[in-house]
Amino acid sequence: MNTLKVNVVTPDGPVYEGEAELVSVKAQSGELGILPGHIPLVAPLTISAVRLKNGSDAQLVAVSGGFVEVRPKQLTILAESAELPGDIDVDRARAAKERAERRMEQAKQENVDFKRAELALRRAINRMEVAGR
Ligand code: ATP
């Protein structure tokens, strides 16, 4: 089966390296399913789960935004942070979620603190979903 070489990289170093037959990402323009041979592309990502399919294996990676760069045989994700399910501390994500919700209650909508708390909330929920909780 034709595969893509996949790398997920953050400022702290590589998080994942492997092969995939299909990579599903949530770009800001919508969901993209990328197969080997795809035309070159760079797209900004949302805070979301990246899904890597290889035969009957499926790997999830939680990403906090960043970019996907596609080339015909290679796909690279550059993200501020990225975690595999087993590396996610669910208690930490739950605490971050509660903290963000409190801040959103306190801050008025549309201000900088509100937006920042909203992003923190989305990161926490994404991590909890990728960890399966
Ligand atoms: P927190 O408030 O818990 O720090 P955050 O969303 O502000 O959450 P980030 O700034 O996105 O955290 O990430 C900082 C670093 O901590 C990154 O390396 C990220 O991978 C890691 N990280 C954040 N939350 C978790 C978690 N729940 N489990 C494992 N690693 C995490």
- Centroid of ligand 1 to alpha carbon of 54 (angstroms): 27
* pLDDT computed for residue 108 by the predictor: 80
* pLDDT computed for residue 133 by the predictor: 73
Residue identifier of the C-alpha nearest atom 21 of ligand 1: 81
> In a mutational test of the pocket of ligand 1, which residue from 8, 83, 102, 103 has the highest number of ligand atoms less than 8 Å from its CB?
83
> Domain residue spans in the chain?
4-85, 89-130
Helix H or strand E encompassing 51? strand 47-54
pLDDT tens track for 71-118: 999 999 999 999 999 999 999 999 999 999 999 999 887 788 899 999
Three-state secondary structure call for residue 26: strand
Residue type at position 86: G
- Centroid of ligand 1 to alpha carbon of 41 (angstroms): 28
Angle between the N-to-C axes of helices 112-130 and 90-106, in degrees from 0 to 180, rounded to the nearest 10: 150
Residue 130 has pLDDT above 80, yes or no: yes
- CATH classification of 4-85 is 1.10.3720.10, yes or no? no
Residue 30 has pLDDT above 90, yes or no: yes
The binding-site residues of ligand 1, defined as CB within 6 angstroms of any ligand atom, are 12, 64, 81, 83, 87-89, 92-93, 96, 120, 123, 127
Distance CA 64, CA 49 (A): 9
Share of the chain above pLDDT 70, in %: 99
* pLDDT computed for residue 69 by the predictor: 98
- CATH classification of 89-130 is 1.20.5.440, yes or no? yes
Whole-structure pTM value: 0.95
